[in-house]
Amino acid sequence: MFDPKIIESDRWLERVGPREEVVLSTRARYARNFPKVAFPRRAKESDLRAVLDRVAEAIDHCAEFAGGYRFFLANISELGRQYLRENHLVSPEMEKSPKNRGLFLSRDIRLAVMVNEEDHLRMYALEPGFRPYEALQEVIDLETALSKELPFAFSPRFGYLTSCTTNTGTGLRISVMLHLPALSISRSVRGVLDSLHNLGMTARGFYGENTENHGGFFQISNEVTLGKSEREIVDMFSAVAEQIIERERQMRRELLENNRLQVEDQVWRAYAILTHARLLSTKEAMELLALLRLGVDAGFFPHISHTEINKLAVAVQPSHIRAALINATGDDEERKFSDEERDQARAALLRKRLLSGPMR
């Protein structure tokens, strides 16, 4: 059986937020460290253990985490860690070397704390849709609560001291996951995203740095963390993100006005494959779901919600499919499946989920 607690971490995808047709989610992150304790990359295992225990104790006293989840990653199977990574809740580094690393989630999966990633603590507020100010306020509240229990390394000149100088100062990273299919189709997406660097921002793929990008999903975030207040960082970020969102919406309108038949054709073909194919790879499924998402926004599929597609985009990932197969067969977590078995299970899952609603 696959750990049901880990599956419950999917729930953060269920909430609905503003601008969901373009923005999947918003997250705000604070990086914090203990003073005079070696940063995780340089710390001894005993130091890391002490940090993990200290944070765990502080979180026990934190009302926001009452009834929440605590994962000591070393006690979780490789599959479980991959599953959490696919849910964007742990980083690839934490997945690969889990020793003395931890993840804490609030009951509603709105707040997360990663322990001993690049910094001792990385606190997150996760929000659906476009909610940068709400996410900022939540992460500030979380930091305020934890700072009553824990000392954080701070210098009046440099601000909060982080393992990498690219995070120094506020330690704040605000990011949104965007779906930009129209900008991608028109090939103007590169230009838009490349220009972000001049504004102190950056773009990445669906699963962070150096990841492949299927179907026009991009994560954009601020790069500058020093010399600006949290509010200024989020103001700047929001203004730029809103412009990108507006460009994408404009492009979608133009696409539908000028090439409606072609768009309809592509979207319905995607739907046809998703609801009838017997074998689907992750890449193909993601690309088709991206087209379907565009169709949902255009109103072709009133029975399918954006949230459902967001959930499917994660559910078709390799470890999610493996976990589902293990639960279906009752096998133990070590059971490996062939690519074909997984592609078959992925196709079956998509058929079931997309055809279960009322058809037009």
Partner 1 sequence: MNAKKCSRCKKERATVKLTRLVKGHVHEIWLCSRCAMRISPYHTPQNLEELIKGGHVEAVLAALLKHNEEEAGRQSQVDERQCPTCGLPLRSYRETLFLGCSDCYEAFEDVLIRDLRKYHGATKHCGRAPSGENAEKSPLVALEELRRQLEVAVAREDFELAARLRDEIKKLKAQIHEANPQQSNTEIS
Backbone φ/ψ region at 260: left (φ over 0), alpha (ψ -120 to 50), beta: alpha
Q: Which residues contact 147 (CB under 8 A, 6 or more apart)?
A: none
Contact flag: residue 327 with partner 1 (CB under 8 A): no
Which member of 159, 215, 216, 295 binds partner 1 (CB under 8 A)?
Answer: 159
Tell whether residue 204 is a contact of partner 1 (CB under 8 A).
Answer: no
According to CB under 8 A, which one of 125, 161, 321, 348 is a site residue for partner 1? 161
Question: Does 172 engage in binding with partner 1 (CB under 8 A)?
Answer: yes
Residue 223 binds partner 1 (CB under 8 A): yes
Nearer to partner 1 among residue 87 and residue 162 (C-beta): 162
Q: Does 157 bind partner 1 (CB under 8 A)?
A: yes
Contact call for residue 97 and partner 1 (CB under 8 A): no
Residue 36 touching partner 1 (CB under 8 A): yes
Which residue from 9, 26, 100, 225 is in contact with partner 1, where contact means CB under 8 A? 225
Calculate the alpha carbon distances from 199 to 219, 220, 244 in Å.
15, 12, 13
- Length in residues, the chain: 360
Does the footprint of partner 1 cover residue 44 (CB under 8 A)?
no
As a dihedral over the C-alpha atoms of residue 250, residue 301, residue 132, residue 152, rounded to 10 degrees, the angle is: -140
Q: Does position 210 bind partner 1 by CB under 8 A? A: no
Residue 133 as a binder of partner 1 (CB under 8 A): the answer is no
CA atoms of 323 and 304, how far apart (whole Å):
24
Residues contacting 172, CB < 8 A, separation 6+: 28, 29, 30, 136, 139, 222, 225, 230, 233
Query: Does the protein bind partner 1 through residue 230 (CB under 8 A)?
Result: yes
Which CB, 226 or 298, lies closer to partner 1?
226
Q: Which stretch binds partner 1 (CB under 8 A): 37-45, 57-65, 241-249, 252-260?
A: 37-45
The least distance separating partner 1 from the CB of residue 206, rounded to whole angstroms, comes to 25
On whether the CB atoms of residues 125 and 49 are closer than 8 A, the answer is no
The reply to whether 124 sits near partner 1 by the rule CB under 8 A is no
Using the contact rule CB under 8 A, the part of the chain among 10-18, 63-71, 163-171, 258-266 near partner 1 is 163-171
- Which of these, 314, 329, 356, lies nearest to 83 by C-alpha position? 314
Tell me the CA distances in angstroms from 6 to 29, 77, 316, 345, one per residue in order: 21, 11, 16, 20
Q: Report the C-alpha gap between 177 and 250 in whole angstroms.
A: 18
Give the residue among 252, 234, 117 at the shortest CA–CA distance from 176: 234
Asked if 18 and 242 count as a contact pair (C-beta separation under 8 A), the reply is no
Coil vs helix vs strand at 83: helix
Stretch near partner 1 under the rule CB under 8 A, chosen from 12-20, 68-76, 146-154, 329-337? 146-154
What is the C-alpha separation between 244 and 231, in angstroms, rounded? 20
Q: Does residue number 197 form part of the binding site for partner 1 (CB under 8 A)?
A: no
Residues binding partner 1: number (CB under 8 A) = 42
Using CB under 8 A as the binding rule, whether residue 95 contacts partner 1 is answered as: no
Which one of residues 4, 67, 156, 299 is an interface residue with partner 1 (CB under 8 A)? 156
Question: Where along the sequence are the contacts to partner 1 (CB under 8 A)?
Answer: 33-39, 41-42, 118, 140, 147, 152-166, 168-170, 172, 200, 223-230, 232-233
